[in-house]
Amino acid sequence: MSHVLPLVRFVEDDEVFRTSQELLLRTHGFEVEGYGSAQEFLAADDLSRPGCIVLDVRMPGMTGLELQQLLNDKGIEIPIIFLSGHGDIAMAVHTMQSGAVSFLEKPVAPRKLLETIASAVEASLTRWRADDAARKGGRSFGRARYAQQGDRARTQHCRGHGEDAPRQCLCKVGRQEPA
């Protein structure tokens, strides 16, 4: 089986907030990349890597919603977690309908953020593995989906570990050990 390190992308125009998120995630063992705008993200990111995108809704230039639409149009299936300073229900419903895995309102509790990201990364990784296996023909598509279900079940198990859950679940989502 191929080995890949998932990548957590932050697309956020507030540099200090983005740095704090990056630092938080890195201390918890995630590989993180930060972008100041949607255009910067599209220009520099390796979209083939599994992981997730933590996306600010309102940014100069292309908004988070527009970036989501663009990625959908391109068939990019990296899970998207929206972070909004003033999101409302209509916006949340729209983003979720368009495939976002979560819509969080700032300031999100660090634990909640870590849990959500861990869950998204795990799902992305599982999907990537299944697709990788399917591409190589080593496993049937049906079995890959079975494995995906198993990963999802394990994720739910992780959530039951309380305060330290993210740290305990690291191995299951394929992260590096925290430095």
Partner 1 sequence: MRKTTLVAADALSQISEIRPDFVIASTGTSAFFAHASDSPYRIATRKSAAAKSVSRSIGSTIVALKSRTDINTLADLKGRTVAATLPTSISGWLAVAGEVKDMGFDVEEFFGRVVFLNTLFPNLTAALWGRTVDAVVLPACFLESLEHTQLADTSALKVIDEHKDEALACRHSTLLYPDMSIYGFAWTDEDSARDLTIALLSMPLEAPNAVTGSAAPQWRSNVDASNLDALFRKLALGPYSLEGQFSLANIIARYRTPIIVALLALLALIGHGIILQYLVKRRTRELSEALQSRKKAEALARENRARLGTLERRNIVNQMSGMIAHEIKSPVGAILNFKAILDFILPEKTREDASVATALSGIESEAVKISGIVDRVRRYAKSQKSAQRPCNLSAITKKAIESVRAAASGEAHIRTQLPEAPATVTGDPLELELLIVNLIKNAWQAQSGGSLAASKKGVHPVIAVGIAVAPGMEKGTEKVLGRRNGSVILTVSNPGPVLDDEAFARLNQIADSVKPEGLGMGLSIVRGICDSHAATLNFRRNPAGGVTARVVFAAADPDNSNKESSAS
Q: What does the binding site for partner 1 look like in residue numbers (CB under 8 A)?
A: 12-14, 16-17, 19-21, 23-24, 27-28, 57-61, 63, 65-66, 69, 72-73, 75, 83, 85-86, 88-91, 93-95, 97-99, 105-111, 113
Strands (E), the chain: 7-11, 31-35, 51-56, 80-84, 102-105
Q: Which is nearer to partner 1, 136 or 159 (CB)?
A: 159
Question: CA–CA separation, 95 vs 128, rounded Å?
Answer: 22
Q: Which is nearer to partner 1, 95 or 155 (CB)?
A: 95
Q: How many helices (H) and strands (E) would you count in the chain? A: 7, 5
Q: Which is nearer to partner 1, 74 or 136 (CB)?
A: 74
Q: Which residue has the tokens 């996306």?
A: 55
Instruction: Please answer whether residues 51 and 76 qualify as being in contact, where contact means their C-beta atoms are separated by less than 8 angstroms.
Output: no
**DSSP letter at 103?**
E
Token reading at 115: 């849990």
CB of 14 to partner 1, least distance (A): 4
Question: CA–CA separation, 25 vs 80, rounded Å?
Answer: 16
Instruction: Please answer whether residues 4 and 50 qualify as being in contact, where contact means their C-beta atoms are separated by less than 8 angstroms.
Output: yes
Q: Which is nearer to partner 1, 5 or 23 (CB)?
A: 23
Q: Which is nearer to partner 1, 2 or 97 (CB)?
A: 97
